[in-house]
Amino acid sequence: MARRLMTIPGIGPLIAMALATLAPPPEHFRKGRDFAAWLGRVPRQHSTGGKQRLGATTKMGERSLRRLLVIGANSVIIKRRTHSDAQPGTWLGNLLSREPPMLARVALANKMARIVWALMARGGVYQSPTAAA
């Protein structure tokens, strides 16, 4: 499991081993958002009457894994010249051009948490999405 998780950019041996040992089995969650919510990586929802309002990111959940994912996201952003996922024109590249760096780190950590759940639940290794032409 840890070897498969290390194929995700920003997740090294330490983070992969922590996720493999501290995270509950993926069957406990219906989807990746539920896993990210367990970590505390999703916006708080204040929804009523069909109008959806998203607030600040919750910090309730597994504190150590949440911090490790933000540190891993930070490594991707710091080395964005070498990571193909952070080049201009990609999701992360566009996010970095319009948002503050810390917000981009947290958003990338949320995305990484959802990818982690998908790899744990379905198996396989991470395949980088192709950049939009």
Joined together, the tokens standing for residue 36 give: 């990210």
pTM: 0.80
Cβ(59)–Cβ(66) below 8 Å: yes
Q: What angle do CA 83, 36, 81 make, to 5 degrees?
A: 10
Instruction: Work out the pLDDT band at 130, boundaries 50, 70, 90.
Output: low
Polymer length in residues for the chain:
133
- 34-88: pLDDT as tens digits: 888 888 877 666 677 777 766 666 666 678 888 999 999 999 888 876 666 667 7
Residues 6+ apart with CB under 8 A from 47: 53
pLDDT of 54 reads 66
According to DSSP, the β-strands at 43-45 and 54-57 are antiparallel
Cα separation, 26 vs 50, whole angstroms: 30
- Would the pLDDT of 133 be above 60? no
Cα separation, 93 vs 54, whole angstroms: 23
Joined together, the tokens standing for residue 59 give: 């910090």
Instruction: Work out the pLDDT band at 6, boundaries 50, 70, 90.
Output: very high
